[in-house]
Structure 1
Amino acid sequence: MFLAWGFFVLLSCLACSPPGGGSETPGRPAEAGPPCYGDTLITGSIGEPSNLIPILASDSSSHEVAGLIYNGLVKYDKDLKLVGDLAESFEVSKSGLVITFHLRKGVRWHDGQPFTAADVLFTYKTMVDPHTPTAYAEDFLQVEKAEAADPYTFRVTYKKPFAPALASWGISILPGHLLEGRDIMKSPLARHPVGTGPFIFKEWKTGEKVVLAYNPDYFEGRPYIDRYIYRIIPDSATMFMELKAGGIDNMGLTPLQYARQTEYRKFKENFNKYRYPAFAYTYLGFNLEDEKFRDRRVRQAVSYAIDRGEIIEGVLLGLGQEATGPYKPGTWAYNPNVKRYPYDAVKARELLQEAGWRDTDGDGILDKDGIPFRFTIITNQGNDIRARTAEIIQRRLKEVGIDVKIRIIEWAAFIKEFIEKKTFEATILGWTITQDPDIYDVWHSSKNKPGELNFISYRNTEVDALLERGRRTFDQEERRKIYWRIQEILAEEVPYVFLYVPDALPVVQARFKGIEPAAAGITYNLIKWYVPKAEQRYKMIAHSS
């Protein structure tokens, strides 16, 4: 929904193998002597961060980089269980209303100042400040009282039971000493962040790269890798050429690259490919403030007119599965029994006719009140999968009398000028799926302001009530019933055409060792990745903290 630390994350996406998957093509022996320090990991990305103050960003590129600079109080481990991060331990009261965090002592910000409970309290106050333009405030508005009991104890009390409470404290904690009393929107931290994480910010060259260096004082031990470079390469084909040429070490492969362009001996010797189910889905979303899409029958017709199997086989090459709602198939919140929309052009035409769309002038395009049924699908530059998906949708909709244009837009402009301002008709995008099934920020009618996540302007009073109930109980069976009902409503109303759940297809240069695929993927233990001394390619000239 690639938008967040573990919230939602717009885009960046990712089932056929078991959770966690494994190395598809082991390039070299996994063990190469004891871990040692040194070398640089260069990662390729089609997107550039927008803001490295995480609470102000809703794109996956920002959160991917910021996730190496900042920490939360808690995090998900390799088995997707919540464990302490900046909190050494925590206690939840029997009522579930009070959480007490015992913070790690001796942790320092990258500028040398000590981390304390005052920073956590400052972060909380910033989140609930109405002047803070963040999409993630809602979780923290549930808090009745937050207090720093002492420098290393932070306690939070909730007004009512709030199921996502503990997970919400995975949010990046901000340096109060650098932000308090200042306008966060004008803070230099947006481009020169200071955190507590395993890597220290060094440089950001717009349109080119972000450079991080190891934190020698990181509380979990310094990373073995000296530097992490995040290279911005807006085209996946160019990125793949850079990978093969040695310009980058790590990227997400497209299905075509994974299945057909990497199956030769030299590539397998030099790279390790991985495949595992993504906690993500891709969708076609409608701007529901657009008159064309206000009629549910029109949205249902579009859903019937799209052949998802054609997209999964033709674009994903079978490396994914059909999406039927906002949850990953096989998880406890996923409802397998919702209404489905198998490809049916006849049904699509019938629904469009019922909604008043007919071809009155014989030009092959439906019209209503003299207005032809035309609209534009926008998606982001550099994602060939989405572009090809749009082309298939364009062709299928033409067959039922709808004229579709496709517009590919550079990522930053796409988000700021079109998504956040709602100046679009329809869009192909993706969300990362969080471990807790709470989807309030994406679907509740109150979250449709500019910059918030319900940018399609969806409104349904029953869904609003269910979303509120779902976060007020800790009983998993009760929550399952609630989220199953939400999925039934979304399937009937079709605010999104849910398209597919892709597989994650990362590739890493084979000199990197210590990679251990798990339910959380492969980067959860990035600080443990290392390169044997004899295989190291890059040396740091100097490092200053």
Structure 2
Amino acid sequence: MKRILPAVFALLFFTSCGDGIKKTAAPDSAEPSYGDYFVTSSIGDASYLNPILATDNASGSINGLIFNGLVKYDKNLKITADLADSWEISDNGLAVTFHLRKNVLWHDGAPFTSDDVKFTYERLIDPEVKTPFGSDYALIKKLETPDKHTVKVTYKETFAPALESWMMGIVPRHIFQGSDFNSSPANRRPVGTGPFVFKEWKTDEKIVLESNKNYFEGRPYIDRYIFRIIPDQSVEFLELRNRSIDEMSLTPDQWNAYKEFFSAYNKFRYPAFQYVYMGFNLYNPFFSDIRVRRALAHALNKNEIINGVLLGMGKPATGPFPPQSWAYNSEVKDFEYSPEKAREILFSLGWRTEKDGYLHKDGKVFEFTIMTNQGNKIRSLSAEIIQSQLKAVGIKANIRIIEWSSFIHQFIDKHNFDAVILGWNLSRDPDQFAIWNSAQTKEGQYNFVGYSNPEVDRLLENGRRVFDLKKRERIYREIHAKIFNDIPYIFLYYPEALPVVHKRFKNVEAAPAGIGWNFHKWWVPANEQKYMLTR
């Protein structure tokens, strides 16, 4: 995605709903009560509790509760106030002046000021800081802080996603100043301004947050947020059935389980604003030839994955924008599933089928490894189907499942892979500069496959420079088509989100922004509360 949003949109639980919501939990009319815990889970642990450094969903979901941006999305995906309570756009869109809320405190009691915004900006453009988000701030000509509660940002040229880019979580200057930003202890013991305060982090076990009684939008009703690491979706489901977790994103087979399993939960179903893909390491000479990638695209039957793994709860993907996006190009036609065409292409490149049933060339078998992360049943099953489909055309695909943190930091960030199955949760603005621009390939950045197309680079830059929606629509639809045809990924499917939430939580409201947009306003009636906060 363009960014892992530093708000509560990082996990499927918080992914925007769009149309097709199958179930809602109506807001409760009773008087809200303080108390109780919310226990959720993830198959992978967080990496950095720092919104500038974090690149994974687990980190993003926690950071969204600890930190605030200057602006955020409201329930209808309109940009609204967060740490800035107002702003003005001037100079034909080249300048934005933010007026910051007064009397906002960091969790350690220090005042939040414009100095923190300036410090955050300086870290985002610092080449020594390992952030994938720097490109969103490279067009800033200058950032001025005329007083403690005013920030004026002047751009070198028009930047259409300028306001949205300031959803980035602001970090505290007084905590990080004078230390190595990348390795600061604060990356594991964060201090933010958000609705929840960091309490503890036990690696690969849990992260615990407590309500911020001084939160500027009012103290959250829920006393404690517990983020458990359960590295297997099947085990997660057992925990759900035992009612020891309050929320999870279901797999399709879990969604179809016996109704009595969900007697204590509200179920939701809607198109997720994301896609799942198989990406190729384009630095690998094996995949640098687009003809090889095209053959692989013809060898895959996406409908078999959607019907067999997703149980029909998804659609074939044709590019980096889902059908709900105005950037989606409906004219892009998917590669025909044709093992015959796949073999024909590979034969033309000199590959021949030997007695073992696999393709060989120059004494080597056509063999590579597909990697994906541990605990994600859908991705591992998809890999098995892909493995079988590739074997049918003579390709030997091995599968390697790796623990999440190692997968990201030792393989993805280091470009140490052949092919990977992963997914992107997307921002509503279609600016995907960070994923596809040829300069965004450093360690920790999002173009880890090494994609490079000068024409796409130009279009990505142009898409940022115009405000006119029709012009942007034409640009991004062209980007959709070009990236599809270049095949840096085989876009597999657009999934549906299938979250469940325990029924004791009230004010859970499904909206275009998802079901977590108002999480700090969720509450549990006193007579239904399960846990009591002890200190």
TM-score by length of 2: 0.97
SS at match of 1:458: coil
Q: Are 1:418 and 2:415 counterparts?
A: no
Change (3 A) 1:18 1:480: closer
User: How many aligned positions are there?
Assistant: 535
1 CA distance for matches of 2:35 and 2:10? 33
SS at match of 1:501: strand
SS at match of 1:415: helix
Specify the alignment match of 2:484 in structure 1. 491
1 CA distance for matches of 2:243 and 2:397? 40
Q: Are 1:479 and 2:472 counterparts?
A: yes
Specify the alignment match of 2:280 in structure 1. 286
Q: Are 1:125 and 2:122 counterparts?
A: yes
1:318 positional shift? 1.0
Seq. identity, %:
52
1:193 positional shift? 0.2
Specify the alignment match of 2:227 in structure 1. 230
1 CA distance for matches of 2:244 and 2:10? 26
Specify the alignment match of 1:45 in structure 2. 42
Q: How does 1:280-429 map onto structure 2 within 5 Å?
A: 280-359=274-353, 361-429=354-422
Change (3 A) 1:221 1:501: same
Moved more, 307-316 or 181-190: 181-190
Specify the alignment match of 1:253 in structure 2. 250
SS at match of 1:134: coil
Amino acid at match of 1:53: N
Are 1:444 and 1:459, in contact at CA under 8 Å, matched by a contact in 2? yes
Specify the alignment match of 1:515 in structure 2. 508
Are 2:213 and 2:219, in contact at CA under 8 Å, matched by a contact in 1? yes
SS at match of 1:89: strand
Are 2:95 and 2:153, in contact at CA under 8 Å, matched by a contact in 1? yes
Moved more, 222-231 or 338-347: 338-347
Specify the alignment match of 2:80 in structure 1. 83
1:338 positional shift? 1.4
Are 1:390 and 1:406, in contact at CA under 8 Å, matched by a contact in 2? yes
Amino acid at match of 2:523: Y
Once the two structures are superposed, residues 262-311 of structure 1 have per-residue CA deviations (whole angstroms, 9 ceiling, x without a partner) of x32x3343111111111110000000111221111111111111111111
1:108 corresponds, among 105, 112, 119, to 105
1:355 positional shift? 2.6
2 CA distance for matches of 1:539 and 1:7? 27
2 CA distance for matches of 1:308 and 1:182? 48
Amino acid at match of 2:330: P
Amino acid at match of 1:147: E
SS at match of 1:471: helix
Q: Are 1:173 and 2:166 counterparts?
A: no
Once the two structures are superposed, residues 201-242 of structure 1 have per-residue CA deviations (whole angstroms, 9 ceiling, x without a partner) of 001111110000000011111111000000000001111111
2 CA distance for matches of 1:400 and 1:19? 39
Specify the alignment match of 1:201 in structure 2. 198
1:189 corresponds, among 183, 186, 198, to 186
1:451 positional shift? 1.5
Which 4+ residue blocks in structure 1 deviate beyond 4 angstroms? 6-15
Amino acid at match of 1:156: V
Change (3 A) 1:535 1:523: same
1:7 positional shift? 9.5
Are 1:22 and 1:276, in contact at CA under 8 Å, matched by a contact in 2? yes
Amino acid at match of 1:80: L
1:14 positional shift? 9.4
Are 1:20 and 1:521, in contact at CA under 8 Å, matched by a contact in 2? no
1:195 positional shift? 0.2
1 CA distance for matches of 2:13 and 2:315? 13
2 CA distance for matches of 1:18 and 1:412? 31
Once the two structures are superposed, residues 27-72 of structure 1 have per-residue CA deviations (whole angstroms, 9 ceiling, x without a partner) of xx86362211100000011110001011111111001101100000
Change (3 A) 1:500 1:165: same
Change (3 A) 1:189 1:510: same
Output the aligned Cα RMSD: 2.0
Amino acid at match of 1:286: F
Specify the alignment match of 1:526 in structure 2. 519
Name structure 2 gaps, 5 residues minimum: none
Are 1:52 and 1:66, in contact at CA under 8 Å, matched by a contact in 2? yes
1 CA distance for matches of 2:241 and 2:105? 39
Moved more, 85-94 or 233-242: 85-94
Are 1:13 and 1:281, in contact at CA under 8 Å, matched by a contact in 2? no
Are 2:12 and 2:497, in contact at CA under 8 Å, matched by a contact in 1? no
2:207 corresponds, among 197, 206, 210, to 210
Are 1:14 and 1:278, in contact at CA under 8 Å, matched by a contact in 2? no
1 CA distance for matches of 2:6 and 2:172? 20
SS at match of 1:95: helix
1:150 corresponds, among 147, 150, 155, to 147
Specify the alignment match of 1:72 in structure 2. 69
SS at match of 2:135: coil
1:499 positional shift? 0.4
Are 2:195 and 2:215, in contact at CA under 8 Å, matched by a contact in 1? yes
Q: Are 1:34 and 2:31 counterparts?
A: yes
TM-score by length of 1: 0.95
Name structure 1 gaps, 5 residues minimum: none
Are 2:2 and 2:427, in contact at CA under 8 Å, matched by a contact in 1? no
Change (3 A) 1:268 1:57: closer
1:362 positional shift? 3.0
Specify the alignment match of 1:95 in structure 2. 92
Q: Are 1:277 and 2:264 counterparts?
A: no
Change (3 A) 1:79 1:71: same
Are 1:10 and 1:429, in contact at CA under 8 Å, matched by a contact in 2? no
1 CA distance for matches of 2:372 and 2:393? 22
Are 1:10 and 1:58, in contact at CA under 8 Å, matched by a contact in 2? no
Q: Are 1:137 and 2:134 counterparts?
A: yes
1:329 positional shift? 0.5
Change (3 A) 1:132 1:140: same
SS at match of 1:466: helix
Specify the alignment match of 1:21 in structure 2. 21
Amino acid at match of 1:58: T
Moved more, 310-319 or 3-12: 3-12
1:328 positional shift? 1.2
2 CA distance for matches of 1:430 and 1:13? 15
Amino acid at match of 2:304: E
Are 1:42 and 1:248, in contact at CA under 8 Å, matched by a contact in 2? yes
2 CA distance for matches of 1:69 and 1:62? 11
Are 1:14 and 1:281, in contact at CA under 8 Å, matched by a contact in 2? no
Change (3 A) 1:2 1:35: farther
Amino acid at match of 2:70: L
1:132 positional shift? 1.1
Change (3 A) 1:110 1:7: closer
1 CA distance for matches of 2:271 and 2:463? 25
Change (3 A) 1:18 1:83: closer
1:73 positional shift? 0.3
1 CA distance for matches of 2:332 and 2:13? 24
1:160 corresponds, among 139, 157, 178, to 157
